[in-house]
Structure 1
Amino acid sequence: MNQRAGSAPAIRRAVAADLPALQRVYRAASLSNADDAPILLRRPEFLVFTGDGIADGRTLVALAGPPGDDRVVGFATSGTGQDTGPELEDLFVDPDWRRRGTARHLVRQIANAACDSGHRRLWVTGNPHASAFYLAVGFVPVGPVSTALGTGLRMYLSLNPS
């Protein structure tokens, strides 16, 4: 049985053995937007996920479920922004697993950890094609920013300390 829409996927910290699955999800998700694919294919170095956050526990994976089904269907990596605080560095979901709440649950886990650490905001520089998702989960746009692949959208999520 597959994860139902809206149900929480199993989420755990990534381990080194997950890297090939993360690379598969990263590539498939990156190329799934027809507007981005030509640019990425001309710059293949941007299609390589190195997994820098795995060893230090910053990457979370979402699993297909049910328990025992360890197929990675999405992942998120957190980091520390230079001046702003915690960053959502990566958020990728296998295109076949989108619209089931996977990305929303990954963001929630990253946001909860940032809040538990005393932070008031979670930052992201998002692809403009993902702006509707980020707005739907509560991110507030700050403005456009230049990235290596073009213009991104700088946004933050207010965290409510409990």
Structure 2
Amino acid sequence: MSERVEAGPAIRTAVAADLPALQRVYREASLSNAGDAPVLLARPEFLVFAGDGIAAGRTLVALDGPPDEGRIVGFATVATGDDGGLELEDLFVDPERRRRGIARHLVRAVAGAARADGHRRLWVTGNPHALAFYLAAGFVQIEGQVSTELGSGLRMSLDLSRA
């Protein structure tokens, strides 16, 4: 019996030169959800991706080609949470490239790195519009809705021993 190997995007650690592409993906992905766009347009400061995790090596990028040449089509950033746990801070995919497994591959890469660093859980405060994705990726909802600066979010956790 042969195992099916799923091809995915090339994933690498972001570098400073990636910032303009990350800002493009961030803005386009953020505004692509009709339910979020009005709130974001009223608060344009939330449409600016500063890239704080790049220099620290906390941001991974997904590319549509080889790591040296491909176009950035998504990214994920992790941070240490207030409780010392690992937090999935950003997960964005170019709206034109959605539903092709890019976000799932980014979550797997983040989870693998977190597991290798000794973390047992990966936390996220997810957008309610992304609930189905997070559940399919193995996250479980821990609490009901939590308050964020832009409204409500869902507090979720991924058990890294199972991911």
- Interval containing the TM-score (normalised by the shorter chain): over 0.9
- 5 Å-filtered alignment, 1:1-162, equals 7-66=7-66, 69-83=69-83, 85-143=85-143, 144-160=145-161
- Quick one: distance in 2 between partners of 1:139 and 1:117? 19
Q: CA deviation at 1:84?
A: 5.2
- Quick one: distance in 2 between partners of 1:19 and 1:153? 27
What's the secondary structure of 2:35's corresponding residue?
coil
Q: Is the 8 A contact 2:76 2:92 kept in 1?
A: yes
Q: Is the 8 A contact 1:26 1:49 kept in 2?
A: yes
1:92-143 Cα offsets, whole Å, 9 max, x none, are 0000010111000000011111111111110000000011100000000012
User: Which ranges of structure 2 fall in alignment gaps of 5 or more residues?
Assistant: 1-5
Q: CA deviation at 1:66?
A: 4.8
> Number of paired residues?
156
Q: Is the 8 A contact 1:7 1:101 kept in 2?
A: no
1:17-74 Cα offsets, whole Å, 9 max, x none, are 0000000000000000001000100000000000000001000000011565421000
After superposition, the CA RMSD in angstroms is 1.3
User: Which ranges of structure 1 fall in alignment gaps of 5 or more residues?
Assistant: 1-5
Which 4+ residue blocks in structure 1 deviate beyond 3 angstroms? Answer: 66-69
What's the secondary structure of 1:21's corresponding residue?
helix
Q: Percent of aligned pairs with the same residue?
A: 74
Q: Is the 8 A contact 1:84 1:123 kept in 2?
A: no
Give the TM-score of the pair, scaled to structure 2.
Answer: 0.92
What's the secondary structure of 1:135's corresponding residue?
helix
Give the TM-score of the pair, scaled to structure 1.
Answer: 0.93
